[in-house]
């Protein structure tokens, strides 16, 4: 119940495309859902985060869509660029507990 499932494992899109990464969870007590971006050999960097009382959040070209009833949330990258090529992790946290991370999605944006 503490797992966060993430798909796909890897994703290849053309420049300008809209990659979508999906995450699903079971624990309804999760109350905070961040996404992290990690470049090879670097630490993950916080990209965008959402709470379950909001269905969508946008920051620049990155959008989180949240479906509380389905217990799913997804990351959309608008007008993707080769510089967006990285591994993306979703995570979830229940207040008072540690974060649970998805296994990651490796995104490649072709020029």
Member of 35, 66, 73, 89 binding another protein (CB under 8 A): 89
20 versus 49: smaller Cβ distance to another protein: 49
Residue 80: phi and psi, rounded to 5, are: -60, 145
Member of 19, 80, 84, 102 binding another protein (CB under 8 A): 102
Residue 43 is a binding residue for another protein (CB under 8 A): yes
Residue 111 is a binding residue for another protein (CB under 8 A): no
- The terminus-to-terminus CA distance of the chain in angstroms comes to 39
The Cα-based distances of 56 to 16, 51, 97, 109 in angstroms read 21, 9, 24, 24
Residue 45 is a binding residue for another protein (CB under 8 A): yes
């Amino acid at each position: 119940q503490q797992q966060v499932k993430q798909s796909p494992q890897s994703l290849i899109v053309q420049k300008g495309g809209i990659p979508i990464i999906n995450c699903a969870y079971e624990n309804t007590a999760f109350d905070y859902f961040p996404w992290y971006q990690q470049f090879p050999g670097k630490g993950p960097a916080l990209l965008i985060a959402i709470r379950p009382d909001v269905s969508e959040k946008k920051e620049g070209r990155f959008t989180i869509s949240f479906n509380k009833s389905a217990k799913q949330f997804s990351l959309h990258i608008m007008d993707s660029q080769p510089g967006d090529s990285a591994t993306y992790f979703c995570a979830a946290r229940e207040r008072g507990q540690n974060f649970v991370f998805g296994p990651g999605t490796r995104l490649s944006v072709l020029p």
